[in-house]
Amino acid sequence: MCVCFTVIGLSALRLWPRQPEVADLAVFLRYRSTEQYFHLKRTLAVMSGTRGARTGHRGVVFFSLFVILIMDVQTRPANISVHRNKHATGKEDNEILPPDHLNGVKMEMDGHLNKDFHQEVFLGKEMEEFDEDSEPKKNRKKLIEIFSKVDINKDRSVSAKELQRWIMEKTEEHFQEAVKENKLNFRAVDPDGDGHVTWDEYRVKFLASKGFNEKEVAEKIKNNEELKVDEETQEILESLKDRWFQADNPPADQLLNEEEFLSFLHPEHSRGMLKYMVKEIIRDLDQDGDKELTLSEFISLPMGTVENQQGQDIDDDWVRERKKEFEEVIDANHNGIVTMEELEEYMDPMNEYNALNEAKQMIAVADENQNHNLELEEILKYSEYFTGSKFMDYARNVHEEF
């Protein structure tokens, strides 16, 4: 089997960069699941912890990681002590695992920029109504209605202050949606309904969501018997346990109530958990261990080289977007270094100063007449930026419809 993996790995090392759909490992990892993210996170940190690993030994590192990925997919340890349901849907897993993506937060859990952030804070919970399959006329009408709501003083233009207020309202909508979902999620992990969840209760529900027999797991935990699970699941459990106890507010009682469980799933709802999330991101990106980020650290691709033009374009976009965000937004004092405090302020979705900056950025994108406000025609013309959907004939009958 090892020989087989070696042959496959060597072939992949030679051919992988030429595959357009997975042109670069950075893109490949971006779409991995939460489980694979936790599983590969420490492997990546060890294998690319030095600048040398990112340059001279890049081919060896890539090959090694490829073998790990193949083995991760194809093999499972034989000594799993509890039965797994191979047909588990994973629906409950999605409900009780911290999500990779947080609506209204500028950065993902893995350090990627949230490419949908502008739409999320402009549309709020109405974002799902704007999709590529929707009728353009209906989408245009919805956008006109939104413009009318943002334009508080009804002067037919939107100022930075008006847009700031709107962004804060839409962010609050995302917050309330998370609170609403959390009530259901909390009930799912609080079987006795006492308003508190122990780590063991959560662990039982998590393993059940992964296809393990819930009764068997609960019995083994109750009797303090060792749970022998596969390496991938154990890796996730260790990461979740650390996060769990971080969410346990002082005085720590090793129990999570509904509010603490919300912080566990959504760190943006708690200042303490937001700090924890920032530390995790910096730890993953920080190459020299000084707990700060330089521009080169922030824009470095996770790993891998790209040979085809499409992949090179992806690399260029990655660097260009992150460089712009680092220099113009995150690095508040423009000294070339991002501290934990600066990143925390950047990540805080309820920061009014950030909302004002975001409003000014939105205006700068579409403000064709340079009056520092947005008119309806400008928003419709740049609809793809604000909604993710591009409208045709944006100016047609604008004034009549408005």
Q: Tokens 């992990």 label which residue?
A: 189
Residue 51 binned pLDDT confidence (cut-offs 50, 70, 90): very low
pLDDT digits (tens, 9 = 90+) for 98-116: 998 999 999 998 899 999 9
pLDDT digits (tens, 9 = 90+) for 211-248: 999 999 999 999 999 988 999 999 999 999 999 999 99
Using alpha carbons, list the distances in angstroms from residue 391 to 115, 125, 180, 399, 402.
Answer: 20, 20, 33, 16, 16
Rounded mean pLDDT of 333-355?
96
pLDDT score of 311: 52
Structure token digits, residue 344: 């925390």
Q: Tokens 């508190």 label which residue?
A: 196
Residue 317 binned pLDDT confidence (cut-offs 50, 70, 90): confident
pTM of the entire predicted model: 0.72
pLDDT score of 128: 80
pLDDT score of 127: 86
pLDDT score of 251: 87
% pLDDT > 90, the chain: 57
- Mapping DSSP to helix (H, G, I), strand (E, B) and coil, where does residue 248 land? coil
Structure token digits, residue 217: 């797991």
Q: Which of 130, 136, 135, 148 is nearest to 402 (CA)?
A: 148
Structure token digits, residue 10: 């060597």
Rounded mean pLDDT of 175-204?
93
pLDDT score of 306: 46
pLDDT score of 110: 87
What average pLDDT does the chain have? Answer: 79
Tell me the CB-side half-sphere exposure of residue 110, using CA atoms within 13 A: 24
Q: Tokens 């060597």 label which residue?
A: 10
124-138, 236-250, 278-292: segment of lowest average pLDDT? 124-138
Spatial distance between the Cα atoms of 219 and 203, rounded to a whole number of angstroms? 12
Look at 390 and 382; give whichever has higher pLDDT: 382
pLDDT score of 313: 58
Q: Return the sign of the alpha-carbon dihedral for residues 164, 146, 99, 114.
A: negative
Look at 199 and 73; give whichever has higher pLDDT: 199
CA angle 138-129-111, nearest 5°? 140
Residue 178 sits at φ, ψ, to 5 deg, of -65, -40
pLDDT score of 199: 95
Task: Judge whether 221 and 204 are in contact, CB under 8 Å.
Answer: yes
pLDDT score of 132: 61
- Residues forming a β-bridge with 374: 158
Look at 22 and 211; give whichever has higher pLDDT: 211
23-37, 38-52, 157-171: segment of lowest average pLDDT? 23-37
Instruction: Kindly give, in sequence order, each residue whose CB lies less than 8 Å from that of residue 385, ignoring residues fewer than 6 positions away.
Output: 118, 362, 365, 366
pLDDT score of 168: 98
pLDDT score of 254: 87
Instruction: Kindly give, in sequence order, each residue whose CB lies less than 8 Å from that of residue 67, ignoring residues fewer than 6 positions away.
Output: 5, 6, 9
Instruction: Kindly give, in sequence order, each residue whose CB lies less than 8 Å from that of residue 276, ignoring residues fewer than 6 positions away.
Output: 243, 246, 267
142-146, 162-166, 245-249, 315-319: segment of lowest average pLDDT? 315-319
For residue 305, pLDDT beyond 80: no
47-51, 211-215, 230-234, 323-327: segment of lowest average pLDDT? 47-51
Spatial distance between the Cα atoms of 75 and 174, rounded to a whole number of angstroms? 39
76-90, 201-215, 242-256: segment of lowest average pLDDT? 76-90
Q: Tokens 């059940």 label which residue?
A: 208
